[in-house]
Amino acid sequence: MGEFGFIIHPVTGARDMARKYPLARVLPEFVLEQIVKRMAPKPVSEITGVRGAAGAPAHGWFVGCPLTPRQFVSLPTEFVLSKIIRAAELAQELGAKVVGLGAMTSVVGDAGFTVARNVDIAVTTGNSYTVWTAVEGAKKAAALMGADISKARVAVMGATGSIGQVCVRLMAEQAPSVMLIGRNEVRLAEIAASVDGKAEIRYTTDPIIGLRDADIVITVTSAVDTVVPGDALKPGAVVCDVARPRDVSKKVAKERPDVLVIEGGAVEVPGPVDFHFNFGFPPKTAYACMAETMILALEERYESFSLGRDLSIERVREIGALAEKHGFKLAGFRSFEKQVTEEYIERVRRAAGKA
């Protein structure tokens, strides 16, 4: 049986700890942050029932790395990394042969290399499959809105990041125009110059300029707060928010009924899977980075598949094919924790038509 571990942390702030410790609901956030900082990594729950191709089983553990998104970026990197490494060691002690780095645990430092050097099991950020699902999900959602990728203008926000860069490259093979949005102009220029394909490639550090003519937006920054300016979006735009914590605020859904914001990277897991822990998704649904870790376990392919900030397109395609082989598929679309129905899409289309 394939054995895996996956490291999680409170994503929306210290109060997210209430998913495991109900007392966290009543304590002030700043008190909770101090407690969280001092807590050691712990097993959170057992993951059972993952069944891949020909019924191949996988079994795993969620391991908690208690730090909030803000603490991941503001505390000293050595402290944060030592906590992630301890969580990965714990996964190893529980029997995992591959461990996935969830949300901010894959963003800190060198995106997994240091963690991989410090444990005797394979480590993956899960970012290759995240790219695959972000691109496929954004295209599918755009089709529901009546947009055809072969004619669409695409924008990628966080285009200098591990996931963002490869989203740019894949989109440039399919769309006529790709806009890279980021903070570092020099990096943006380097990435833009290295993109193959016929697409028109532009870049900007100004999200308002970058978003204004985009039909499809993939946003995947590691910002702690929301960064997508809702008023910059084009009527009828589809925004695939892959970031955790989110890049798009709930306010955007309220103020822009003419744009479709979907949660990127949600995947249906094959088999009678039970996470024994509610991380806010419907039953049998996981983040793509979790799914990549499960796929490697099902394949008993214990290698560090996705590490660092230079992912390869070949690996993205490979994990996409392996996911299909084992029966993983894009989950139904959700927008701010609600199912996206045909009626909802019709309402967005009508509002976009009026706008």
Catalog residues that contact ligand NAP under the rule CB under 6 A. Answer: 103-104, 106-107, 111, 126-127, 130, 158, 160-164, 182-184, 187, 220-223, 227, 242-244, 264-265, 287-289, 309
Q: Which residue is nearest to ligand NAP (CB)?
A: 161
- Where are the alpha helices (H) located in the chain, listed in sequence order? 29-38, 69-74, 77-93, 113-117, 127-144, 162-172, 185-194, 207-211, 250-255, 288-298, 313-326, 342-354
Q: How far apart are CB 252 and ligand NAP at their closest, in Å? A: 16
Q: How far apart are CB 151 and ligand NAP at their closest, in Å? A: 27
Which of 155/352 has CB closer to ligand NAP? 155
Q: How far is CA 300 from CA 31, 52, 170, 284, 336, in A?
A: 42, 11, 28, 21, 35
Which of 163/352 has CB closer to ligand NAP? 163
Q: How far apart are CB 275 and ligand NAP at their closest, in Å? A: 15
Which of 236/245 has CB closer to ligand NAP? 245
Please check whether residue 237 is in contact with residue 216, taking contact to mean a CB–CB distance below 8 angstroms.
yes
Q: How far apart are CB 113 and ligand NAP at their closest, in Å? A: 12
Q: How far apart are CB 124 and ligand NAP at their closest, in Å? A: 10
Which of 158/270 has CB closer to ligand NAP? 158
Which of 90/331 has CB closer to ligand NAP? 331
- Strand 177-181 and strand 153-157: the pairing is parallel
The whole-angstrom separation of Cα 330 and Cα 262 is 12
Q: Which of 300, 315, 316 is nearest to 96 (CA)?
A: 300
**Angle, helices 127-144/288-298, rounded to nearest 10 degrees:** 120
